[in-house]
Amino acid sequence: MSTVDKVLDVTLSYIQENDWCGACYATAAINHILLNELEIQSELCIGLFLMDNNLSDSYLSRMSE
């Protein structure tokens, strides 16, 4: 499991254990901070975005290891 996978797994576990569903923006920000603390570059994109001709209000975080 990569470092990015571990960060996302820990965040997902926290969301599930604390019934924190619907906190997309907060968890995106948390993931972004955690990845940057681990010196993994990420770009946080919160808000509406267009992908494959579909508009979403979810988050998108692009990561590279």
Q: Where are the domains of the chain?
A: 3-63
- Beta bridge partners, 9, equal none
**Confidence band for 60, pLDDT divided at 50, 70 and 90:** very low
- Single-letter code of the amino acid located at 39: E
Cα distance between residue 47 and residue 49, in whole Å? 6
Average pLDDT, the chain: 81
Q: What is the predicted pLDDT for the residue at 58?
A: 56
In degrees, to the nearest 5, what angle opens at C-alpha 47 toward C-alphas 46 and 53? Answer: 115
Residue 40 contacts residue 3 (beta carbons within 8 Å):
yes
Contacts of 28 (CB under 8 A, 6+ apart): 44, 46, 59, 61
Instruction: Name the band, by pLDDT with cuts 50, 70 and 90, for residue 64.
Output: very low
Residue linked to tokens 């808000």: 47
